[in-house]
Structure 1
Amino acid sequence: MSVTPTPAPRTPPRSPESGPDWEDLATTALLGTDRRPFTGADGAHGPGALLDEAALRTVRRRAGLLPAAAAPLPAAVAAEARPPLPEAARRRLGQLLGARGDQRGSAPDLTELLPQWLERANAHGYAPPPEHLPALLDAARGRTDLRPAVLAFAGVRGRWLAEQNREWSFVRRTIVAPPAHEAATSAPEDDERLWGEGLFAERVALLARVRESEPERARALLGPTWAKERAEDRLLFLDCLRPGLSEADEPFLEAALDDRSRNVRALAAELLSSLTGSALAARMAERARACVGPDGAEATAAEAGAIAVEAPRACDAAMEHDGVVAKPPAGRGERAWWFGQVVEAAPLAVWPEHFGGASPAQLVARPVAEGWREELHAAWCRAAVRQGDAEWSRALLGSPVGAEQGATALAERARLLAALPAGERAAWVAGFLAANGLSEAFQLLSGCATPWPAELGRAVVDALNIARDAGSYPWSFSGVMGLAERCLDPAEAPHLEKLIGSFEENEDSKPAAGLYWTDVFHRLLATLRLRAEMRAELDGASPTDTP
């Protein structure tokens, strides 16, 4: 008698809901099957069973995915009103965008030439080639220093494109003035709507633009929303009032002295002290006169004696209201800290009057009693920069070739130079380089207008040549070399070319210094020539020259 074997029961098919859900699988994978054992539907254990289950769930999820409704198409971008780039400049832009940084040897660093190219293209009002917009936005995403120039060049089409890609969301946070042709079409009602609904960067750009042409309307925009703004936003909005500051701004700034934010109060006090006819400036002048005067009761104001200083002995509530910070930073004495803030905020015109008509140069030359000279001159330096006073800046700077500098600190000299006209500033730095070489040149050169005038450019090249002849290595002056590549006028190329082959090593030269300097000079020369080509490509068919 034969016995028919009973078939094994079939495992019913698993429903989509059976077994662990996806979150359970993910938690088990994170913890590991040693800490959270896993058993599959077929009785298998361990990591392999977990991976099999995850693969099954992945396929099931993909197979059951239903198509979503298509998103609406973005609104069409406005037509570009600017003229296109010349063909040679278009090709050059592609070359600059495709370059890789950190180049070595004598080849120019193309990534450092892109900011100059953008500046000149924006000055001519060219429109960007559409095919280069993604690369331009990618470049700006990686380099914050490029963003304003890139967005000004990209225009409405670039901003429209950035809205389609979240990786370019920095555009929403970048403050940049709109192109001139866009600003001209702006109506007051459009500005008010943008002020009420726009992104922060758009609002700052709007306020800066309106401030330039209609200062009163800029303040009117600020008024209704001022109390509701965040402290950090109020600070930046208030800073937009700095250009074109006038007596009409005084009531608004006086009210800001009572702002709940310490930083806003400090900025309001700084702006008011820049208005030398303001009530705050007058209060500071009165305090400053009480602190500084002729040394000795028998001396008259007109005598060229020493200057006496009596620093404040307390910082009262009125001083704090006017922007004097009571608590000094670490390492500073209280009285010196208060004294510097008071003198810095006082109008510089008070001092010739207080000392019987003495000129700024005469006052700077006077001795200061009891070791207060450094504090007094530093405060005068800050006041000269704040008030943009060229006469006081000249007096405090002194001669660029003199052994004794009126403002001894390098940072103070750099700030004072900013108050001088561009040509005078360049001439002073050129004289400083001729007398002192490159050791302290970087910060001074950074503040000079570009391209450098011929006198300054020649002084930089000559100072580099002297440093090379001294036998030192060029990377000791890498900062100045970088500035020279960006700021030196390409017209200096012939002079530089003559110097390349004139070097002879001496006994004091560092090993192989001559070879390194040769590479550096070749790179500088190649960069100048390339900049000249870029300029010709952009200038050759300038839209501003077309009828």
Structure 2
Amino acid sequence: MTRTSAPVEAPATGAWEELVTTALLGTDRRTPPGGAPGRTAPVALLDAAAVQTVRRRAGLRPAPAAERPEPAPADPRPPLPAAAARRLAALLADRPGTAGGRRGTAPDLMELLPQWLAAANAHGYAAPPEALPALLDAARGRTDLRPAALALGGPRALWLARLNPDWRFALRTGPGGGAVPSGPEDTDRARRLWEEGLFAERVALLTALRARRPADARELLATTWATERAEDRLMFLDSLRTGLGPDDEPFLEQALSDRSRNVRATAAELLSALPGSALAARMAARAGACVAVDHTHGTPTVVVEGPHECDAGMERDGVVPKAPTGRGERSWWLGQLVEAAPLGAWHARLGGRTAQEIVALPVADDWQGELHAAWCRAAVRQRDSPWARALLGEPAAPGAGGPGAVSLAERAKLLGTLDAVERADWVAGFIAAHGLSEAFQLLGVCAVPWSAPLGRAVVDALNIARDAGSYPWSFSGVMGLAERCLDPAEAGRLDGLLAVPDEAEDASPGAGGYWAEAFQRLVTTLRLRSAMAEELGSARVG
């Protein structure tokens, strides 16, 4: 068959896009440029595409040479030890990969990369220059890696990011990447970026400035607040959570009158996290009018009278008037009032009792769940450890987490208000009493590496589950956490769990082999983490 070539003409602007459009629509609906309709049209389209491809690759017009980029800045930090540099290359080269449900015994290197980066940054090392492209690619694909990856990459990573549009995120989020003012002398540059920058650049600027100079960030936001879009105002307002303090109250009070309901709700939430704010006092008065202690019975009992209406003042202070489907209006309003009221106000209101004594009081007429759940939210919002402790209760109690901990997510949030040691001890006690079936979310809020008591509790519970012939895949999430969070020193204690156990008659088929494989992977990962730490510590930072 003789091929009919399309006429070769001077390339027109947008010629390639025209060819792509024709290919997508089909030559029966659109005639190729320079061709004719009919059976030869597809061949003409391919010929035209071939010609245009050559032009795109080789048809450069003479032009003045571009300026050479400035040399990469010096990085004064010490280089990685050779073994640690090789480890970084291996971690960056790893790709998720095992098909099917079983992972085998090999460690998941990509899940270890965040720990490795944190440890390398703690030592003060600089990334090897040859590793920067892979490091930036990894950070591009995983936003959780970006802060640590860019810290390790340092000024050279930012220099390199300016040469590749795919790495432009580094210029918005990296320290010194052009979005973060480094000192008072950069005020003009920061203001210009705030007024002219892209949305992501403005968010990064406000967030970084808020962490360093909260008042300056708030004042910068105030300069354009009235002209911002509602969705942008909401994002900007959320940045005030960092460094939130009494000086933010006047700005937030003004935001209570914002035309956007979401902005008003966020402003109210932030003000309720300031126990000394006027909004907190208003909420305390409203909530206090609904809750009291009744002494007419033998046992003092909390009595609740839910609000009968949601007035304009309540709406302005962030109370959402319309209840979700399935919720009563009065209980919905009460919960919002109580969670926004300062927890310290309840001691005087309820007879000078402590948080633990208040939580222990019976509550009349089935209001206990709503009241305690609201106190839980208030304890998390106000970072109130004594109230969180009281609401959690004893970890070994049948209703662990206290009456107000209505979900595992609430328990995890309450634990977040405690210090790392107390948090780990509570979760260890919970696991010892209740096993691992409900512990995954609780383990996620514990500091890494896990404390010795917590690590022992997890290993003992896994061993019990294995010996009981439990369905092994139910614990894969906890196993994954253990690989990343268990202290590497615990590897020696696990050697006795590597053998395939005898399977009971009622055990899941193949469970013994899975457990042995999972424990082998756990031990291998712990020893790898130990080796990583030794490699990073093999040269001391001066």
CA contact (8 A) 1:211 1:241 kept: yes
CA contact (8 A) 1:39 1:49 kept: no
CA shift in 2, pair 1:346/1:47, >3 Å? same
- Equivalences for 1:92-171 in 2 at 5 Å? 92-103=87-98, 104-171=103-170
- Tell me, yes or no, if structure 1 residue 515 matches structure 2 residue 509: no
Please name the residue that 1:531 is paired with: 529
CA shift in 2, pair 1:93/1:55, >3 Å? closer
Could you say what secondary structure the match of 2:365 adopts? helix
CA contact (8 A) 2:284 2:342 kept: yes
Q: Which runs of 5+ in 1 are unaligned?
A: 1-13
- Equivalences for 1:353-432 in 2 at 5 Å? 353-405=348-400, 406=402, 407-432=405-430
CA shift in 2, pair 1:369/1:47, >3 Å? same
1:44 and 1:176 map into 2 onto residues whose CA distance is 56
- What's the offset of the Cα at 1:31? 5.0
Could you say what secondary structure the match of 1:108 adopts? coil
RMSD: 3.1
CA shift in 2, pair 1:65/1:323, >3 Å? same
Deviations 1:347-382 (A, max 9, x none): 111112111112211211122111111100100000
Please name the residue that 1:500 is paired with: 498
- Tell me, yes or no, if structure 1 residue 54 matches structure 2 residue 53: no
CA shift in 2, pair 1:38/1:230, >3 Å? closer
- Equivalences for 1:22-421 in 2 at 5 Å? 31-32=25-26, 34=28, 46-47=40-41, 50-51=44-45, 54=48, 58=52, 66-103=61-98, 104-172=103-171, 175-177=173-175, 186-197=182-193, 198-295=197-294, 298=296, 304-405=299-400, 406=402, 407-421=405-419
The total of aligned residue pairs comes to: 522
Aligned residue type for 2:189: R
- What's the offset of the Cα at 1:71? 3.4
1:323 and 1:539 map into 2 onto residues whose CA distance is 52
Aligned residue type for 1:402: A
1:487 and 1:25 map into 2 onto residues whose CA distance is 54
Identity score, percent: 62
- What's the offset of the Cα at 1:261? 2.7
- What's the offset of the Cα at 1:34? 4.6
CA shift in 2, pair 1:230/1:239, >3 Å? same
When structure 1 is superposed on structure 2, of 31-40 and 67-76 the one drifting more is 31-40
When structure 1 is superposed on structure 2, of 47-56 and 368-377 the one drifting more is 47-56
CA shift in 2, pair 1:351/1:33, >3 Å? closer
1:417 and 1:203 map into 2 onto residues whose CA distance is 33
- What's the offset of the Cα at 1:149? 1.8
Could you say what secondary structure the match of 1:241 adopts? helix
CA contact (8 A) 2:273 2:381 kept: yes
Deviations 1:474-499 (A, max 9, x none): 22111111111111110111111233
Could you say what secondary structure the match of 1:307 adopts? strand
Please name the residue that 2:4 is paired with: none
Deviations 1:15-69 (A, max 9, x none): 9479xx9688766655555556789889996246625762685489578753344
TM-score (norm 1): 0.87
- What's the offset of the Cα at 1:162? 1.7
1:338 and 1:269 map into 2 onto residues whose CA distance is 14
CA contact (8 A) 1:38 1:50 kept: yes
- What's the offset of the Cα at 1:223? 2.8
CA shift in 2, pair 1:328/1:155, >3 Å? farther
Deviations 1:170-189 (A, max 9, x none): 3355x45559xx98x92213
- What's the offset of the Cα at 1:246? 2.2
CA shift in 2, pair 1:46/1:464, >3 Å? same
2:373 and 2:200 map into 1 onto residues whose CA distance is 35
Could you say what secondary structure the match of 2:289 adopts? helix
CA shift in 2, pair 1:32/1:538, >3 Å? closer
- What's the offset of the Cα at 1:213? 4.4
CA shift in 2, pair 1:152/1:497, >3 Å? same
2:212 and 2:59 map into 1 onto residues whose CA distance is 60
Please name the residue that 2:3 is paired with: none
2:46 and 2:347 map into 1 onto residues whose CA distance is 89
2:164 and 2:33 map into 1 onto residues whose CA distance is 43
When structure 1 is superposed on structure 2, of 32-41 and 361-370 the one drifting more is 32-41
2:190 and 2:437 map into 1 onto residues whose CA distance is 50
When structure 1 is superposed on structure 2, of 446-455 and 80-89 the one drifting more is 80-89
CA contact (8 A) 2:27 2:42 kept: no
2:203 and 2:22 map into 1 onto residues whose CA distance is 50
Deviations 1:248-307 (A, max 9, x none): 2211221221223322222211111111111111000000011111237x47xxx84221
CA shift in 2, pair 1:492/1:318, >3 Å? same
When structure 1 is superposed on structure 2, of 491-500 and 518-527 the one drifting more is 491-500
1:119 and 1:250 map into 2 onto residues whose CA distance is 36
Q: 2:481 aligns with which of 472, 483, 488?
A: 483
